[in-house]
Structure 1
Amino acid sequence: MASVSYHIANLLEKMTSSDKDFRFMATNDLMAELQKDSIKLDDDSERKVVKMLLKLLGDKNGEVQNLAVKCLGPLVSKVKEFQVETIVDTLCSNMFSDKEQLRDISSIGLKTVITELPPTSTTLAASICKRITSRLTNAITKKEDMSVQLEALDILGDLLSRFGGLLLAFHITIKQALLPQLASPRLAVRKRAIIAIGHLVMSCSTSLFHELIEFLLTELTNNSSASTTRTYIQCVGAISRQAGGRFGEYLEKMVPLIVRFCKTDDDELTEFCLQAFESFVRRCPKEVSNFIPEMINICLKYVCHDPNYNYDDDDDNEEMDTDMQDEEEDE
């Protein structure tokens, strides 16, 4: 233990050097040490390593920053819960920094920590989830900075994917934060919201699941915007893919709505409708059986449809040809 502590102390000292190459090499050596299963850090070393790596996230050299954030992954399983909480709190605070580069690297750091949290340590995972979920939902709803909002949506999706069951107390707040983003003017925001909602339905309660579906049914019935309609149908498909048979009882209401949108002239919307049909058939084969004939007819119609061909122009040209022939005959 003493030799390890001495070696770590030497590396930490080099990481304070004014020479970026020294900082880079020392951080690289530290990462190699942290990746060893046999390494054990004493309390003082833990504290100093965590403090130094968090400091290096703001380093002037990008390569040093990148190495520092990579160290966080193996470090999470080598330090005590208190130190992991310190890491997460600092990264969350950095996400709202005025410095764009620090925001970006801290977002990567949070994703890294979430990915590396030991799945067997539910106490640690639950503690971390509780510490950051409220801050993420606030960043999503406030919309003060688009880049922060996008990162928060990404990280929330990762959290729900890995630890959705540990976030039950936050599911209502998460739903309230995510649903308005489906109508965002930014496509990137809408896409990330769909992904997060897909992960949410994997662990949410039956009542919350019902609220989500009823919201989408209402919006699809009353919505007049083609852009948001496409988003809502994409969301329906994502929920169906993740929820499986749980979605089956809502097909009676959902399928007729989507069939209606298949009859529009919007090729992109039609494609999303067909993708939703595919997810229904794959995930709810029994419940969807009554709608199969109608789905087949729609699919057969579009098998020979060329979205790059302008059918209206063709009709106009045929009419012009007919008119010219009539004129020639009159002459």
Structure 2
Amino acid sequence: MTITKIKLRNFKCFQDQTFDFDSKIVFIEGQNGSGKTSILEALYFACYLKSFRLCSSRDLVHFEENHFFIGIDFASQQSDFTNQIAVGFKDGKKVVRLNQQEIRSYKEIVELYSIISVVEDDLLLVKGYPDVRRLFLDQALFFDSYDFVNKLKQYKQVLDNRNAVLKSSSMPNLDILKVWTRQLWELSIVIQKNRMTYLNLLEQKVNEYLKKYFNETFFINFEYKSKIKIGSDFDTFWDLYLKSKYQEETRFSRSVIGAHLDDFIIHYHGNAARFFASRGQQKLILFLIKISQGLILADKGKQNIAFLLDDFLTDLDQIVLSKCFFMITELDFQFFLTCPIKSFSDFQDIFQKDYQFTPQIIKI
């Protein structure tokens, strides 16, 4: 199933515009401020009901209007049936319909199709702070298992209760603290195991495609860093906690242990990519991570996956860029790409000559 059409009404710079898509690779070409990124933003919003930028839904409404509408059509390769998603926003409320039936959760949408974005801010996955990498892992695992989301919710409740105990007194009741610490420890173990399993899969995919398309002899490694070590029993952990962390927590009145503080390090050429990889290398690592995320979803039966690459082509040399293009022609995903370069037409000959593939180019 592929996205064949998007209709935008009062969405950002578009008052009433329809775009038809007839290829699995779509280049969106235009001057800065023409609305290239807004098309990608609309595709993303229709899946997750939020923007990939840090803005509210009201910020997406066209100037001097109070509502917007996004309509997306999907065509199935197996039949003539077309799925339709319609998203409306007015007076601070969202209304979402799938095939004219109102739905209550974006879970129903992601079961139909998934969007994976590759935008400038995503580089924070490589060079940013731990909270960005934790969020990436937890969102990736959401697609894999809705049960994991429930575990995260349970963890948040336990963490809040435990912090409340720590804030209640400079000398909190140890029996009560121990009860909440045990629950935090147990849930942290579950969350960590899920994250580490996913990271292992991701590392295998990244290196498989790094070798296949880029002929590299080195590996990219992910090293999970946890505050609670898997394998220790709780009583042993509790004794260690009292000796090494209890005073710190009572001083700061918050939890300094748990899965909410974990991180993972991306190693490139044996060094931390955050510090030692160039900007172009960081973009390649990000690209491979995101592609691998889609491949893992596909291995688990997810069929309708679209990638949004916004201004991704900058900072990549011609050789790496050509290999990235070759990869996306072979992958069974749909791609939407924007870039501030003068014209995508320059690449059309490359696709036709080297890859025997003609992408669609939309000029705005």
Q: TM-score range by the shorter chain?
A: under 0.3
Q: Normalising by the residue count of structure 2, what TM-score does the alignment of the two structures yield?
A: 0.24
Q: Give the structure with higher Rg (CA).
A: 1
The structure that is strand-richer by fraction is 2
Q: Normalising by the residue count of structure 1, what TM-score does the alignment of the two structures yield?
A: 0.25
The structure that is helix-richer by fraction is 1
The higher-RCO structure (CA 8 Å, 6+ apart) is: 2
